[in-house]
Chains A and B, each alone.
Chain A
């Protein structure tokens, strides 16, 4: 579908220094680039900036909640704070963070391909993201919006805040950005696998991205049409969702959660993929239960479409559907637990390098287990009626969306940072920052489990004085966490300026991205790499001259088929 007029890599013998960053120069060469690595980096910068913005709103609303009643803003402003925090973090940060940013960079290299299948579409999806983000910011200028990130009707069609339509249009556009990324990944994995890269030789991160892409392609259009109807409803007074005109607001929630529940798995499944990589590579041990982890990703993707109703237990959904959705929701625990047990089994008797990425992976294991198990409380119908719309829910989904998805994303960022930038970061600072984030996170959100089970409703501006101690602890935790993230930003930026030069394979990874230079050359591989079992670390050895690991083919008992015999590390 797409091609570019680029010099042929075969005739252009790249100099040793040539990599994707230095391949072409100038600002213009970045904004019109079709290179998946550059697009991935641009996504990463954009996502991290949005993360900063969303984080600022989080700190503002936590600060407002320090005291009952007014602390420093009024209730309407507070409503806008939490809405913006939610919308930015969900649509601008977490959903694109792993697939579009890290995935874009890593997927074709891991696969052994030169690029994604449709490079132009890839760039287009990045500009759609920018446009969507622009609309979201525009809505701030037009008076903001206070609907919550779910845009529940009829409130979203009646509220007087002026920014509702721009933000809905923005989310609509962001949805298409996400769809195009997903389409690109599916086609890339289907069509661009080189010889020897069979389905079951793919790194598990690719399986996770593939499952995610299925969800993106199948679920996101429903969100798009739902938001489209919402705009039409607000502007033209159509009334399909409006109860006063015989419409059905519960139908809106069905539509919304048909997308937004799978969207939760758009966030968590790629995070699980990253953790599979982190744990195997940094424990230097073959991943345990490869096929189970791979298929559990697909299973989660499929289950994700069957459980949306558990967000609607108290919405007026019928008792029959409540029961069905509750029962199916439990079953999601099975593939999730399969993954956790396989990760634990991989760690068992591994030779664990306790470095920053591994520390993030371990944090993920703890936080995801807490987040996942509290999900069972919420899937239980009778418990949920009590816990629905309390801080218990807030804590639960922060453990999953932030404690799992974002922590894995940051872990992955550290894991692939040397590959992306060619620089090493300060390992000691990295581990300290990770610890601070972990402590701050648990202070912030574990407290909220207690707050919620005591009955503090979410999204409230004011509360009873007896809740104050929890809110204070939670707010202090959020400050600690923010400090940890700022520290991370600090040493990462420092590494860009003065970090040590990274070897091609600093961690001892076996998958293909560790077999090309850091940073990778323009077309990823100077020669087609040989594909093998990407979790077989027995042939990976330390090479003192490179200050890094190498994949030593001479240790490889069986030669991989289909690759040029020249590929010797």
Chain B
């Protein structure tokens, strides 16, 4: 975020000798990293920090709204959340928590070594942090992949029996970057449960988009209550990749849990990816030796960002994995 500015070399002549840098009002020649509109490195550092904290405040509110959505949905149907939480792998979630905590540690150590001007140690720490981020995403990928295969997803797809291969295929498709809404989505004839219309996908001109909306939830409820309706192609008792549809105790509306689960962990995952880009940029600059004990602000600010990613996960983990 900062570049070393080229200063005219006659600065020394203009200002004579310098006192201790931190108290010098005209330290621009002494501190090549100092921007022209700042008087001292301390002022520049404090500005950067405050700016970053304000940005983190926006991140907190950004995630905060999703936490509010979580709280509202959960307050409405706590039984859904404790039921659906069973489908999340606590061990993988806990492992990810540890990975993120350790990567936060290496990031904090990186800031320490940057402050001490230890270039090699800084680069090593940044690489370790990067590895932690990558590890987190790999573990997350396995979690997602397993769930999507088992139709543990948001929306009406949740109620498609996993044995229905076509349904699973579509669920996977759905999880990928989508096309613009198609003209009409064929509702699989075999699946009685997804009588819920794909509201978002249907043109409003299609009368069915309006009328069935009111029966939608009842359709979902039927799927839950009546196993025969819910899993027409899988007789009760048949071994299936995912058992959620055959669980008679399943409360209706579990798809909402997965909606908020994917929304929150997905947004968090995006932040991890952004964090990796930031760390990569820091690694490049650190390898070039651009950071000294006088000037390490980008490392510090990148670190703050990485810690907030960790901090969000610290809350996501118990709220999703530990509530049954």
Is chain B found bound to chain A in the same assembly? yes
Chain A contacts to B: CB under 8 angstroms:
1-11, 113-115, 117-121, 154, 157-160, 165, 179, 182-184, 186-187, 190-192, 217-222, 224-226, 228-229, 232-240, 242-248, 251, 254-255, 258, 523
Query: Can you sample 29 A-B contacts with CB below 8 Å?
Result: A1-B301, A2-B2, A3-B3, A3-B35, A4-B5, A5-B6, A6-B36, A10-B14, A114-B37, A118-B47, A160-B203, A183-B55, A187-B51, A190-B50, A217-B54, A221-B61, A221-B62, A225-B62, A225-B267, A226-B65, A229-B69, A236-B155, A238-B259, A240-B73, A242-B200, A243-B213, A246-B252, A247-B256, A254-B68
Closest to B46 in A: A191
Whether B204 is near chain A, meaning CB under 8 Å from some CB there, is yes
Min CB distance, B141 to chain A, in Å?
Answer: 18
Chain B residues within an 8 Å CB radius of A184? 51
Chain A residues within an 8 Å CB radius of B255? 239, 245-246
- Complex CA–CA separation, A56 to B36 (angstroms): 43
- Complex CA–CA separation, A158 to B202 (angstroms): 7
Chain A residues within an 8 Å CB radius of B267? 225, 228
Selected contact of A192 from candidates B37, B64, B181, CB within 8 Å? B37
Selected contact of A183 from candidates B4, B33, B51, B181, CB within 8 Å? B51
Chain B residues within an 8 Å CB radius of A242? 199-200
Q: Chain B 30-49, CB within 8 Å of chain A: the 1/0 string? A: 00011111100001101110
Instruction: Report whether A1 and B51 are in contact in the complex, using a CB–CB cutoff of 8 Å.
Output: yes
Whether B1 is near chain A, meaning CB under 8 Å from some CB there, is yes
Chain B contacts to A: CB under 8 angstroms:
1-8, 10-11, 14, 26, 28, 33-38, 43-44, 46-48, 50-51, 54-55, 57-59, 61-66, 68-69, 72-73, 76, 154-156, 174, 178, 180-181, 196-205, 209, 212-214, 216-217, 220, 252-253, 255-256, 259-260, 262-263, 267, 297, 301
Chain B residues within an 8 Å CB radius of A232? 263
Closest to A113 in B: B37
**Interface core residue of A1, A121, A190, A254 (most chain B CB under 10 Å):** A1
Instruction: Report whether A1 and B36 are in contact in the complex, using a CB–CB cutoff of 8 Å.
Output: no
Main SS at interface, chain B: helix
Closest to A228 in B: B267
Instruction: Report whether B14 and A251 are in contact in the complex, using a CB–CB cutoff of 8 Å.
Output: no
Instruction: Report whether B8 and A160 are in contact in the complex, using a CB–CB cutoff of 8 Å.
Output: no
The 4 lowest CB-CB distance pairs between A and B, nearest first, are A3-B35, A244-B216, A114-B37, A244-B213
Chain A residues within an 8 Å CB radius of B217? 243-246
Selected contact of B263 from candidates A2, A237, A240, CB within 8 Å? A240
Instruction: Report whether A237 and B200 are in contact in the complex, using a CB–CB cutoff of 8 Å.
Output: yes
Closest to A118 in B: B51
- Complex CA–CA separation, A247 to B156 (angstroms): 13
Min CB distance, B291 to chain A, in Å?
Answer: 14
Selected contact of B205 from candidates A2, A160, A191, CB within 8 Å? A160
- Complex CA–CA separation, A125 to B121 (angstroms): 35
Min CB distance, A10 to chain B, in Å?
Answer: 6
Selected contact of B178 from candidates A114, A218, A236, CB within 8 Å? A236
Instruction: Report whether B35 and A2 are in contact in the complex, using a CB–CB cutoff of 8 Å.
Output: yes
- Complex CA–CA separation, A113 to B36 (angstroms): 11
Instruction: Report whether B1 and A120 are in contact in the complex, using a CB–CB cutoff of 8 Å.
Output: yes
Chain A residues within an 8 Å CB radius of B5? 3-6
Instruction: Report whether A237 and B33 are in contact in the complex, using a CB–CB cutoff of 8 Å.
Output: no
Given A8-B7, A224-B62, check contact A187 B37 (CB 8 Å): no
Main SS at interface, chain A: helix
Instruction: Report whether A10 and B26 are in contact in the complex, using a CB–CB cutoff of 8 Å.
Output: yes
Instruction: Report whether A236 and B54 are in contact in the complex, using a CB–CB cutoff of 8 Å.
Output: no
Instruction: Report whether A245 and B1 are in contact in the complex, using a CB–CB cutoff of 8 Å.
Output: no
Closest to A10 in B: B14
Instruction: Report whether B200 and A233 are in contact in the complex, using a CB–CB cutoff of 8 Å.
Output: yes
* 18 more CB-based (< 8 A) A-B contacts, given A4-B35, A114-B36, A258-B65: A8-B7, A8-B28, A10-B26, A11-B11, A154-B199, A158-B202, A224-B62, A225-B66, A225-B267, A229-B69, A238-B259, A239-B155, A240-B259, A244-B199, A245-B255, A246-B217, A247-B259, A255-B68
- Complex CA–CA separation, A11 to B14 (angstroms): 7
Instruction: Report whether A238 and B155 are in contact in the complex, using a CB–CB cutoff of 8 Å.
Output: yes
Chain A residues within an 8 Å CB radius of B7? 8
Min CB distance, B169 to chain A, in Å?
Answer: 16
Chain A residues within an 8 Å CB radius of B202? 158
Chain A residues within an 8 Å CB radius of B263? 229, 232, 238, 240
Closest to B62 in A: A221
- Complex CA–CA separation, A235 to B155 (angstroms): 12
- Complex CA–CA separation, A5 to B50 (angstroms): 23
Instruction: Report whether B204 and A160 are in contact in the complex, using a CB–CB cutoff of 8 Å.
Output: yes
Chain B residues within an 8 Å CB radius of A158? 199-200, 202, 204, 209
Instruction: Report whether A8 and B47 are in contact in the complex, using a CB–CB cutoff of 8 Å.
Output: no
Chain A residues within an 8 Å CB radius of B199? 154, 157-158, 237, 239, 242, 244-245
Chain B residues within an 8 Å CB radius of A2? 1-2, 35
